[in-house]
Amino acid sequence: MQEQQIGDLYIPSDERALRSVQRRVEAVDEVVREWSHTVMSVLPKGLPLIDDEGRITSLFLAQQRRLNLELDARNPEITLRTRLGKVVPFLGEACPDLDLIRGVHRIVSARLESDIDRTCAGYCESLQMPPVSDPVIDWRVAMRFMAQGVHRIATQIDLKKDYSTSSKRFELALFAREAAADVVLRRRAMLAAFEKSESASC
């Protein structure tokens, strides 16, 4: 069975291959979103994030998890593929199709980015702010940074078995509080910049 690839676009050769890709897309999408949800659920209660910021950070966290799974899937080490296969079955195949893996992850990445853009735009539109501006970008970057840091620490913890006894949970909580505070500062700066521009236009 020959797959096609036009530029960066992966095209399955037939309907059966397409269904296989679709199943794998759903599997990866579900895994990274569930993992992200689990991580967000163990972060300290009372973080000063509004609901939209929590959702966006969770999506960035899922995106970071997806990226790491993709990088791991390209690793030729058989022991690593075996371990990944316990999480996402097709990633543990003996001879992974790298074009297929890239295609699957590209679709999942696009889904997550679309959800991030939609949530950011929805928040901005609710306040009648332009969704694309330097203050908004700074706000988004702060949430992405928080997600990257949380991911770095959380991947060192077995969240379902050892979280309550892991010393890393304190590092995770401390980082989350500091990063969330920066997100709040960026949000306030964004709102202040918008209010200033509104006043200037009156």
Three-class secondary structure of residue 6 per DSSP:
strand
Q: Two tokens at 60?
A: 């960035």
How far apart CA 176 and CA 170 sit, in angstroms, is: 10
Q: Is the entire prediction scored with pTM above 0.95?
A: no
Return the pLDDT at 1: 38
Return the pLDDT at 96: 58
Return the pLDDT at 64: 97
Spans of the chain, pLDDT less than 50:
1-7, 93-94
Domain that holds residue 195: 4-201
How far apart CA 138 and CA 158 sit, in angstroms, is: 32
Judged by phi (left if over 0) then psi (alpha if -120 to 50, else beta), residue 163 lies in alpha
Assign 3-state DSSP to the chain and report helix, strand, coil percentages, each to 5. 75, 5, 25
Return the pLDDT at 78: 52
How far apart CA 126 and CA 41 sit, in angstroms, is: 26
How many structural domains comprise the chain? Answer: 1
Return the pLDDT at 103: 85
Q: Which residues pair with 4 in a beta bridge?
A: 11
Return the pLDDT at 22: 87
Signed CA dihedral, 194, 196, 200, 202: sign only: positive
Is there a contact between 31 and 69 (Cβ–Cβ < 8 Å)?
yes
